[in-house]
């Protein structure tokens, strides 16, 4: 995985061998995408659509250049975490001067092989060429995600689907949706319609209001699942709950609705889960969210409980954790959740390097798994530079190098690396309010983070020059897709 890797692939594969004779496959006519099983049809359709978008003619007939997708197993259901799993995402891609073969035990692996193939395509006048290689590839971590904040400023369904498409390009497999916070509520709950009729209409200052109907949420879940991306909903409690209390005034606020909140301060709200009415409301909410979500996880937040007394916070965490398991799901919580988590199945998502490090290490020793989301490397709402027009800087400026030059297994001192479940980047919307801004903050940094999550751990510390040339090679593809991205001065991009 050095700077001289010969192909413009991100993430870099596990093993690449140049085939002999070393003649490129030249595509100067129609391509037939051939499958050996019905389960391979989805990745075949994905590859066909992508080739057509490149003006590569495809045909269902077995003529012209053949790309064969071979599925080697009939058992490719998601694992207990709801993701395909490392073995299922493993694939082999072989390119000769006569054709292409992609082999995997699951449709997810075939799709990853297809995305790799698409990155290998070289434009050559009116034709395309593919170098003769055999790639054997598998992910380092089975969980590779993006936490996407809809609460501060809303993104409609069409834009969320586009984010899914970006994730697929880079071999991510989880989209974690932050659906509520102090500024707004973004998922229709039929048992409490006020959550969206009232707090679906609010947003951070300058942001977009709105919400997903249950039909739209189901459509998103299905769209993502077709692309082997798991949707994980987050209902953030007991803090970050002003929008809930604005819509449903409970004992916490004297049963008088507070004014909507449009600022960016945090840690001032609390849902009092020692109040039976509040616990009943939360039960209704989580039950509906669970019914809408086929995946096994509900994220229940738990971060920044600044105004909540320590003992009450611990009991609140225990109460919401029990509720999640009682309705048949498993819980994920942010750093602070470790203070009250009772069940070792509960996953802790590390984000803040200043809190709970020792507790996190001890929790991992007890059996808790950890998702790595260190803010100083993967919070993609942080500005690239001090003069960047979008985002904030409270976790520091995060340039492309900062998103790449870190190692998950050593990020938290003494943490058992075997307990790391995977990596999630995150983007928060306090200062990001348009589709263009979202994509520019995600790209290009989401690509080097994908390599940290997918590719084998390098023998030496990662340096930007190991990825910069391959990163620059993605620009043409992103531009073709209409995806805005930031032309960081740390990367030598092709001329516009």
Q: Is 304 a catalytic residue?
A: yes
Q: Are 33 and 58 in contact (CB under 8 A)?
A: yes
Question: CA–CA separation, 176 vs 293, rounded Å?
Answer: 12
Q: Are 490 and 400 in contact (CB under 8 A)?
A: yes
Structure tokens at 53: 């978008």
Closest alpha carbon to 408 in 356, 365, 462, 465: 462
DSSP output for 165-229: HHHHHTT--EEEEE-B-SS-B-B--TT-THHHHTGGG--STT-----B-HHHHHHHHHHHHHTT-
CA angle 17, 90, 334 (to 5 degrees): 125
Question: CA–CA separation, 340 vs 359, rounded Å?
Answer: 11
Q: Are 71 and 162 in contact (CB under 8 A)?
A: no
Of the residues 50, 270, 288, 304, only one is catalytic, namely 304
SS3 25: strand
Report residue 70: phi and psi, to 5°: -110, 120
Question: CA–CA separation, 6 vs 17, rounded Å?
Answer: 10
DSSP output for 98-127: SEEEEEESSHHHHHHHHHHHHHH-EEETTE
465-469, long-range: CB < 8 A, 24+ apart = 465/3, 466/1, 466/2, 466/3, 466/5, 466/404, 467/10, 467/12, 467/404, 468/3, 468/400, 468/492, 469/3, 469/8
Q: Are 110 and 104 in contact (CB under 8 A)?
A: yes
Q: How far is CA 224 from the centre of its chain?
A: 11
How distant, in Å, are the alpha carbons of 176, 238, 428 from that of 297?
10, 18, 21
Question: CA–CA separation, 230 vs 227, rounded Å?
Answer: 9
Which residue is associated with the tokens 């260190």? 374
How distant, in Å, are the alpha carbons of 198, 220, 230, 250, 370 from that of 296?
29, 16, 10, 30, 16
Give catalytic residue positions: 304
């Amino acid at each position: 995985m050095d700077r001289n890797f010969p192909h413009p692939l991100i993430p870099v594969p596990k093993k690449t061998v140049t085939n002999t004779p070393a003649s490129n496959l030249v595509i100067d006519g129609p391509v037939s995408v051939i499958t050996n099983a019905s389960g391979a049809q989805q990745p075949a359709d994905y590859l066909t659509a992508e080739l057509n978008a490149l003006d590569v003619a495809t045909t269902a007939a077995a003529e012209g250049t053949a790309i064969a997708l071979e599925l080697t197993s009939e058992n490719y259901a998601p694992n207990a975490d709801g993701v395909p799993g490392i073995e299922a995402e493993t694939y082999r891609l072989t390119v000769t001067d006569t054709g292409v073969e992609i082999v995997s035990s699951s449709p997810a692996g075939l799709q990853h092989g297809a995305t790799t193939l698409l990155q290998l395509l070289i434009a050559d006048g009116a034709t395309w060429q593919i170098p003769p290689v055999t790639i054997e590839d598998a992910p380092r971590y089975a969980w590779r995600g993006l936490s996407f904040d809809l609460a501060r400023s809303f993104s409609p369904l069409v834009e969320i689907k586009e984010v899914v498409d970006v994730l697929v390009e880079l071999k991510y497999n989880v989209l974690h949706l932050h659906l509520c916070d102090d500024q707004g509520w973004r998922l229709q709950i039929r048992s409490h319609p006020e959550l969206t009729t009232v707090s679906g209409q609010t947003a951070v200052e300058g942001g977009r209001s709105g919400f997903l109907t249950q039909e739209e949420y189901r459509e998103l879940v299905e769209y993502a699942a077709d692309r082997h991306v798991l949707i994980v909903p987050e209902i953030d409690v007991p803090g970050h709950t002003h929008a809930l209390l604005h819509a449903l005034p409970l004992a916490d606020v004297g049963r008088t609705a507070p004014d909507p909140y449009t600022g960016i301060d945090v840690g001032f709200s609390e849902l009092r889960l020692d109040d039976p009415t509040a616990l009943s409301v939360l039960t209704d909410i989580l039950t509906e969210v669970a019914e809408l979500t086929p995946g096994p996880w509900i994220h229940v937040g738990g971060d920044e409980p600044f105004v909540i007394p320590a003992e009450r916070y611990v009991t609140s965490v225990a109460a919401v954790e029990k509720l999640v398991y009682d309705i048949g799901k498993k819980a994920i919580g942010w750093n602070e959740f470790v203070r009250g988590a009772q069940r070792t199945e509960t996953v802790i998502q590390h984000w803040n390097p200043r809190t709970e490090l020792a507790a996190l290490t001890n929790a991992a020793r007890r059996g808790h798994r950890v998702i790595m989301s260190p803010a100083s490397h993967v919070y993609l709402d942080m500005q690239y530079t001090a003069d960047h027009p979008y985002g904030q800087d409270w976790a520091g400026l995060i340039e492309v190098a900062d998103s790449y030059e870190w190692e998950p297994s050593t990020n938290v001192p003494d943490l058992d690396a075997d307990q790391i479940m995977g990596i999630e980047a995150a983007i928060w919307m306090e200062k990001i309010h348009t589709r263009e801004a979202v994509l520019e903050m995600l790209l290009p940094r989401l690509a080097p983070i994908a390599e940290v999550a997918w590719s084998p751990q390098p023998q030496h510390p990662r340096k930007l020059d190991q990825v910069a040339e391959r990163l620059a090679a993605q620009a043409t593809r992103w531009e073709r897709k209409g995806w805005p991205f930031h032309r960081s001065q740390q990367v030598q991009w092709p001329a516009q």
